[in-house]
A and B are shown apart, each in its own frame.
Chain A
Amino acid sequence: MMRKPLCLVLFFAAALPWLSLANDGGVLDFTADELRRILQHGPWPQAWSHDPSNRVSGKRDAIDFGEQLFFENRLSGSGKLACGSCHVPERDWSDGLARGEGMQTVDRNTPNLVNVRYHRWYGWDGAADSLWSQSIRPILNEKELASDPKRVAELVRTDAELACHYTRTFGQPPAAVKDDEALLVDIGKALAAFQETIVAARTTFDEFRDALARGDRAAAARYSIPAQRGLKIFVGKGNCATCHTGPRFTNGEFHATGVSFFAGKGRVDPGRYEGIRELKSSQFNLLGPYNDDPARSTAVATQHVDLVQRNFGEFKVPSLRNAALTGPYMHNGQIGTLREVVGYYSEINVDRLHADGEQLLKPLKLTAQETDDLIVFVESLTDFRTNWKRSKGGEPTCK
């Protein structure tokens, strides 16, 4: 456990020529430590296997059914809203608003859905521990779709197209499922199967990272110098990579970074604190009866998550992949642009941090060029070619 693997040593030996090269106009002079940190942000895409808690995860029929449901307005209490009303494909599966607009304005920014299949926790507060249970939350939430299990179940039982999809996906007609809640969970699982297919494409950063890994200097030199300088800040003085770790640029956990948790007049958003309480009391969590995996192999986090006072006002660290497309930023959408986000951390007011909070955060005091470089780097984590289209134009597909 305590020895560096031989392959790592060999890698750094192979990388030594890089270390001795000053900037020749193509590739900056990265230290061995910087190289090691950079390589930890890949490769991309990450390996993935089907979700064992969802028996239809990865199945073609479930993906088709999930896509149909995702844009189905009749799932909502009003009949006018669908998942896709806020998670808009053309807006990188978010809505471009500071706070989501469902049946009412919600307290939080609409998270984008790119790469959700890799998440450990869902929502800014992590109140759901699986993609299928998260898919149920907005359906029932009175500020979002404001529906209920009976309405959803009746719709799927009585609509020929949806009933056909259900039968193909789950192997029995929905009319055979008498329990409305069980049917709602199946709808969540089909929705999850569809959302699992939403994965960010490779970016110019990924090409650079992989070129470094294989020692391909010519390919690495295609990555712009400002982006490389921004990357140095990201893994160095910016300390960004302490929370925005790994290939997804998030540790998937929760931190308080001084962003206001006042949700409105006289109201606060407790963030992770309430998220854990909701998780533990939910019949839809991975320890509950709807987990399709008898071994509970993905329930380790749920079994061990610990509620402590410092969770109050903590929110999930967002992934930075496609970040250039996902503004406004922060859990409440209070920051409009990437430049303002960088400015926030550059001048962060430590007096706003919890007394028992993270001691890592200090004003970065970035220069104008450093700010520009960091923004160029974060933009390089974005695939701007996203052009998702509904399969078969959204026409009925099940007979």
Chain B
Amino acid sequence: MRTEWLAVLAAGALAAPAYGCVPDLPGAARTLKAGRYSVAYRAVPDKLPVSQHFSLLIAVCANPGAPPLETVTVDAQMPEHRHGMNYKASIKRESASRYRADGLMFHMPGRWEIIFELRAAGRTDRVTQSEVIE
């Protein structure tokens, strides 16, 4: 998998953002700033496959002043091809700060954008991350 560093930087993503909290997720592949929260994730299996289902382990922490998180959703799209996934991911909350998204699939090689939406107190914070699937 090739990293789209420019897109990562544009999304405000760093390995450990100095301007926010750091989610507790050992082995996290990405940590992203998502408005009032920070999100870290890693895939299961580690290498994102083409045309096979995979899961994401997700950890979220609230930056100072953020209200308690209500819901997390995960989706993905292929911007250049103008379509999303053929599947709708399900999310399970596994602990106060950990989630698991199942049922994702990238059915074509190329650039995908993973979309995280975090909802709390009537607002949604959204962050995207590019992944190139080969």
- The yes or no answer to A36 lying at the interface (CB within 8 A) is yes
Chain B 74-117 interface residues, beta-carbon cutoff 8 Å to A = 80-90, 102-105, 107-110
Q: Could you tell me the distance in whole angstroms from the C-beta of A234 to the nearest C-beta in chain B? A: 13
- The yes or no answer to A253 lying at the interface (CB within 8 A) is yes
Are B51 and A253 neighbours in the complex by a CB distance under 8 Å?
Answer: yes
Complex CA distance for A237 and B58, rounded to whole angstroms: 37
Complex CA distance for A252 and B52, rounded to whole angstroms: 10
Complex CA distance for A189 and B109, rounded to whole angstroms: 34
Measured CB to CB, the nearest residue on chain A to B53 is A300
Residues of A within 8 A of B42 (CB): 1
Are B81 and A246 neighbours in the complex by a CB distance under 8 Å?
Answer: no
Q: Could you tell me the distance in whole angstroms from the C-beta of B77 to the nearest C-beta in chain A? A: 12
Measured CB to CB, the nearest residue on chain A to B50 is A245
Q: Could you tell me the distance in whole angstroms from the C-beta of B134 to the nearest C-beta in chain A? A: 7
- The yes or no answer to B119 lying at the interface (CB within 8 A) is no
Measured CB to CB, the nearest residue on chain A to B89 is A304
- The yes or no answer to A47 lying at the interface (CB within 8 A) is no
Q: Could you tell me the distance in whole angstroms from the C-beta of A256 to the nearest C-beta in chain B? A: 10
- The yes or no answer to B126 lying at the interface (CB within 8 A) is no
Are A251 and B53 neighbours in the complex by a CB distance under 8 Å?
Answer: no
Complex CA distance for A4 and B3, rounded to whole angstroms: 10
Give the number of chain A interface residues (Cβ < 8 Å): 28
Residues of B within 8 A of A243 (CB): 108
Complex CA distance for A1 and B56, rounded to whole angstroms: 11
Are B90 and A4 neighbours in the complex by a CB distance under 8 Å?
Answer: no
Are A306 and B86 neighbours in the complex by a CB distance under 8 Å?
Answer: yes
Chain B interface SS verdict (over half): loop
Measured CB to CB, the nearest residue on chain B to A314 is B86
Residues of A within 8 A of B109 (CB): 241-242, 245
Complex CA distance for A300 and B50, rounded to whole angstroms: 16
Measured CB to CB, the nearest residue on chain A to B49 is A246
With contacts A252-B51, A300-B103, A359-B82 taken as known, whether A2 is within 8 angstroms of B87 at the C-beta atoms is: no
Chain A 296-330 interface residues, beta-carbon cutoff 8 Å to B = 300-301, 303-306, 308, 310
Residues of A within 8 A of B50 (CB): 40, 245-246, 251
- The yes or no answer to B60 lying at the interface (CB within 8 A) is no
Are A303 and B51 neighbours in the complex by a CB distance under 8 Å?
Answer: no
Residues of B within 8 A of A254 (CB): 86
- The yes or no answer to B22 lying at the interface (CB within 8 A) is no
Q: Which of A1, A40, A300 gathers the greatest number of chain B CB atoms within 10 Å? A: A1
Residues of B within 8 A of A5 (CB): 47
Residues of A within 8 A of B47 (CB): 1, 5
- The yes or no answer to A358 lying at the interface (CB within 8 A) is yes
Q: Could you tell me the distance in whole angstroms from the C-beta of A254 to the nearest C-beta in chain B? A: 7
Q: Could you tell me the distance in whole angstroms from the C-beta of A105 to the nearest C-beta in chain B? A: 30
Residues of A within 8 A of B51 (CB): 245-246, 251-253
Q: Could you tell me the distance in whole angstroms from the C-beta of B7 to the nearest C-beta in chain A? A: 13
Q: Could you tell me the distance in whole angstroms from the C-beta of A115 to the nearest C-beta in chain B? A: 15
Q: Could you tell me the distance in whole angstroms from the C-beta of A46 to the nearest C-beta in chain B? A: 12
- The yes or no answer to A9 lying at the interface (CB within 8 A) is no
- The yes or no answer to B14 lying at the interface (CB within 8 A) is no
With contacts A2-B1, A304-B102, A358-B83 taken as known, whether A253 is within 8 angstroms of B43 at the C-beta atoms is: no
With contacts A1-B47, A358-B83 taken as known, whether A36 is within 8 angstroms of B107 at the C-beta atoms is: no
The 6 A-B pairs at the shortest CB distance, nearest first, are namely: A304-B103, A1-B29, A306-B88, A251-B51, A304-B87, A253-B107
Q: Which residues of B contact A (CB under 8 A)?
A: 1, 3, 29-30, 42-43, 46-48, 50-51, 53, 80-90, 102-105, 107-110, 134
With A1-B43, A36-B134, A245-B51 given, can you name 11 additional A-B contacts, CB distance below 8 Å?
A: A1-B46, A2-B3, A243-B108, A251-B108, A304-B88, A304-B103, A304-B105, A305-B86, A306-B87, A306-B88, A360-B81
Q: List 13 A-B contacts (CB under 8 A).
A: A2-B30, A242-B108, A245-B51, A251-B51, A251-B108, A300-B53, A301-B103, A304-B103, A304-B105, A306-B88, A356-B83, A358-B83, A359-B82
